[in-house]
Structure 1
Amino acid sequence: MALEREYDFWLLDLDGTLVDVEWSYTREVFDQVGDRLGREFTDQEADILWNGLTGSRDRQLEEWGVDPTAFWEAFHEEEDPLVRAEQTYLHEDAAFVADLEVPVGLVTHCQEFLCEPVLDAVGIRDWFDARLCCTEETGWKPDPEPVQSVMADLGVAHNGHRGVLAGDGANDVGAAWNAGIDAIHVERVGHERRGQCVLGDYRVRSFDELS
């Protein structure tokens, strides 16, 4: 990949960037969460929340009159790590990450109890030299703290190294820029479905375009 030579390190998001899950799994989880909360989620609402199409999921939930804390408690209780891992697939164009010869880190909102089985199921655990699953303690993208934490783990913080973060959402781009590195936005769902365009230093529909 031509861009590899431009950067001293790479950071990547996970869900929607490197991997995705079958829609049937997403639909089932939202049905179960809806039963818990006494509130049905339409296909469009499930799509918006799962893919973060409107940015902050918590803000979107509040706009719909759903308490974010109650939603996430129900959501994580209903997610089965092994089932999710079985229904997760790796995007073919993500294969370039395995060949990167610079430090590589993972910065994801996917919770650790879900992330670990997914990494094993799709066989990409050894792609990363450092990983961080965001929590309330670490902060959430677009805050720069999670990105800066992984940069520190990689030994590339505050020493002039040039890096990039690739992700599928506006929060990924914001986190990269807030941390002072470049951003690649890979648009997996299309701006028509998203309802807006996400700007980045690079905007692609597939990582193959970067070559």
Structure 2
Amino acid sequence: MVKAVIFDMDGVLIDSEPMWQQAELQVFSQLGVTLTAEQTRQTAGMTTEAVAKFWYQQSPWQGMSLAETEAAVIAQVARSIATKGEAKKGVQPLLQYLRERRLPVGLATNSSQYLMDTTLDTLAIRHYFAAHCCVEMVAKGKPEPDIYLLAASKLGVAPADCLVFEDSYTGISAAKAAGMTVVAIPAAEEWHHEKFGIADAKIRCLTEFDMRLWH
């Protein structure tokens, strides 16, 4: 039986993936690293630190440290979220439904606390979450299970009793490694990709989800 629900943030609560793509394309192009939108999807779900290291290994640059590069990407994404961020379809009704049924809700994101706070405040949904977990709170981000185990601990629920919503293979892998049940919400262009087969269920939008089948 599901006793708690944990949400990923980027791509699940907010359609921020285009914002990440735009920020990465702009920042890395200034460093002489030529990327395409397709290439940025290769790193979807990774921490910003891991993304910077990944592209530095592919095409080393000079003039900006990895930490400065990471900060530049995060700052641009934060500006985009603050000015045009909107909750994805179905987010508000599902969060309200879970609240009415007294199911504890947590957030587990590979993003920084700054971006987590910016998103929660911009979407005005902070009050729905009993646990807020970001990448700075764990030794290793997704695909390691640390952040999901932390969220379960904060919610006071066993990992096996947690239901997770994730949009990336990286995040799904993390939640499964934590021993949780996972509902995948792949991007439209990845809907048929076999990698999402490790999830327990797959939906196109949160509006398709029926909690009565899980609780």
With the length of structure 1 as denominator, give the TM-score of the two structures.
Answer: 0.79
Note the C-alpha offset of 1:148: 0.9
CA distance in 1, matches of 2:68, 2:193: 28
Partner of residue 85, structure 2 = 88
Stretches of structure 2 that go unaligned for 5 or more consecutive residues are: 211-215
CA distance in 2, matches of 1:203, 1:66: 38
Q: Figure out how many residues of one structure are paired with residues of the other and give that number.
A: 198
Contact 1:132–1:146 at 8 Å: present in 2 too? yes
Answer with 71-80 or 11-20: which moved more: 71-80
1:117-139 Cα shifts (integer Å, max 9, x gaps): 12111111112100111138431
Contact 1:33–1:71 at 8 Å: present in 2 too? no
Distance change (3 Å), C-alpha of 1:66 and 1:195: farther
Stretches of structure 1 that go unaligned for 5 or more consecutive residues are: 1-5
Partner of residue 128, structure 2 = 127
1:36-62 Cα shifts (integer Å, max 9, x gaps): x2222223223443566xxx8578536
Counterpart pick for 2:22 among 7, 20, 27: 27
Contact 1:12–1:107 at 8 Å: present in 2 too? yes
Structure (1/2) with the larger strand percentage = 1
Contact 1:165–1:172 at 8 Å: present in 2 too? no
Distance change (3 Å), C-alpha of 1:210 and 1:24: closer
Partner of residue 103, structure 2 = 102
Q: Is 2:161 aligned against 1:167? A: no
Note the C-alpha offset of 1:197: 3.8
Note the C-alpha offset of 1:177: 1.5
Partner of residue 8, structure 2 = 13
Note the C-alpha offset of 1:169: 0.8
Note the C-alpha offset of 1:12: 0.7
Note the C-alpha offset of 1:66: 5.0
SS of residue paired to 1:20: coil
- Map 1:123-162 to 2 at 5 A: 123-135=124-136, 137-157=138-158, 162=161
Q: Is 2:45 aligned against 1:45? A: no
Note the C-alpha offset of 1:75: 3.5
SS of residue paired to 1:11: strand
RMSD: 3.0
Note the C-alpha offset of 1:22: 7.7
Partner of residue 3, structure 1 = none
Note the C-alpha offset of 1:113: 1.2
CA distance in 2, matches of 1:22, 1:144: 22
Question: Match of 1:99, as an amino acid?
Answer: Y
1:40-99 Cα shifts (integer Å, max 9, x gaps): 2223223443566xxx857853673458x9556313224243443222221112221232
Distance change (3 Å), C-alpha of 1:43 and 1:171: closer
With the length of structure 2 as denominator, give the TM-score of the two structures.
Answer: 0.77
CA distance in 1, matches of 2:17, 2:11: 11
Identity %: 20
CA distance in 2, matches of 1:28, 1:155: 36
SS of residue paired to 1:165: strand
CA distance in 1, matches of 2:20, 2:170: 24
